[in-house]
Structures are given as C-alpha cells and as structure tokens.
Amino acid sequence: MLKDLSIETVLNNLTMGIAILDENRDFIYINDLTTKITGYSISEIKNLEQWFKFAFPDPVQREKIHSAFKEKLAEREHYNRVSEIKTKSGKNKFVEFRVNPIGEDYLLVNLVDVSRRIEREKEIKYLSYHDELTDLYNRRYFEEEMKRLDDSRRYPISIIIGDLDNLKTVNDNYGHLLGDEYLRKAADILKELLRAEDVVARIGGDEYAVLLSKTDKKDCIQICERIIKKFEAQNSENNFPVDFKISLGCATASRSGKKLTDIYNQADKNMYKNKGRR
C-alpha cells in the first residue's frame, strides 16, 4: 500500500524538523522543515561543528551548549534542550532539540520551533507580576519583594503608600476612560521620579506602593515632597477637569529585625492621616 511513498516524502511531511548525522558528525540528511526553521540547507551546513558556529555565534554560549551536548552523547543518552538560535536570516528563534543516538554511529535530531510558546510563557509570566493598565508591578510582586528584602542587607528600607485622590469623582462624572488616564499618568510620574531599582507597584484600584531599599526616613520624605509637587504641576499642564492629586504616607525600617509588612501598615496609616488633612 505504501510502495508509492518514499522515505524522503514521509520525512518532508512531518511536523518537525529532521536531521541525520553520520559517525563523523557530518549531516547526511535534512528535511524541508529543518531548512524552514533554520534557513540552512544541507549544502550550507556540512557538519555539527559548523552548525554550532552558525546557530550560536557567541563563543561563550556556544561552548556551554556544546559541552552539555557532547557529555550526553558520550554517555549514549538522549539530549533534549530548548535553545535560542540565530537563523540564516539573522532572526533569533527558540528551538527544541531532541537528539537520539541510532545504531552504533548515527544521530537523529528532531527540531521544533517553539518561539511562539516561549514568547507566550514570557508574556504570562510578565502579566503575573505586572498591572496591565499602568505597566507597574502588581501587589503580588510587591509582597514577594517585601519578603525577599526582609532579611537582606539593603537597610534602611522605606515604603511609600499613595492613594490617588478624586478618582471616584472622575470615574462617576467623566467616565472610566479618563479615570484610566489619571491612573496611567500617576504611574508615569512615579516611574519618572524613582530609581530603576525601586519597586513601584499599583496594589489596588487607586493605590500605589513604593519599596525603597537603602533609603532612610529623611530621603523618603524628600521623595514624597517631589512626588506631590510633580502631581500638582500636572493640573495646569494637562487641563484635568478634576484636581490631579495624590495622598502619600511613608515609613522606614532603619535596620533588619522589623518586618516590612509592619512598615507597610504604618505607611498606609500615615497615608490616611495625611489624606484626612487635605
């Protein structure tokens, strides 16, 4: 029944790339999908050493991957790894390689382009720690960072809690699209005024939190003052229909031993005290 089907026809219709190498680690077969994934035909990559140079131009990365590969093969074990390769066009792709020894001397290599899967996994991981509207970190990430820094050498550590004033008024009278603009603008100001290493998060509907390592009480208060002034300046610059303001509270742990969750709670209380005075 299969007499009209050649082995090559079957291999070229598989949903994964196929490459076969002989005892000298020269390529003796590459199917069409392997060429589509990598950009290289069998006439362009003669052997395994040449392939490693093309796919991994960085010598440090190449040596690391090559060593792991040779170690597995020396023990006649299967090799399975997802690696980021450079294709002939210069584009990077994530490819899953499955290498199986066949017979005494040959290697069968399966290749699957998993770039979309890897990118999706990265996106899911990113969204699990970020607020989609403002692109700030979310509460989950903020709380994990507090735990991580609890016993660190990054003291003094300060926390700022902010509550965006008038957001309900904006949403009720001008709609949530404008309310979202207020939230994004607040996030932009915080990112602009704070250091790259500071953890800036949106932890609730109109609430923000900032985790500042190696920042004492005096510096933290000065940072709060700069934030308040920057918010006030936005009203004339943007013609907001409702005052663009934020209430802030801060607290500082001067040394380790005091839980950062307690510092967080104190900063939150201070924020509500300040909000009541405005």
CATH entry 3.30.450.20 includes domain 7-118: yes
pLDDT band at 225 (very low <50, low <70, confident <90, very high): very high
Q: How confident is the model at residue 114 (pLDDT cuts 50, 70, 90)?
A: very high
Q: Where are the domains of the chain?
A: 7-118, 135-277
| Annotation: CATH topology of 135-277 | Alpha-Beta Plaits (3.30.70)
Question: Looking at 206, 219, 262, 268, which residue is catalytic?
Answer: 206
Distance (Å, whole) CA 2 – CA 205: 64
Establish whether 198 is a catalytic residue.
no
What is the distance between the alpha carbons of residues 278 and 267, in angstroms, rounded to a whole number? Answer: 17
Q: Each residue of 190-218: pLDDT tens digit?
A: 999 999 999 999 999 999 999 999 999 99
Mark out the alpha helices in the chain (DSSP H runs): 7-12, 32-38, 48-55, 59-74, 115-129, 139-149, 167-174, 176-193, 217-238, 260-277
pLDDT of residue 270: 96
Angle between helices 176-193 and 167-174 (to 10 degrees): 150
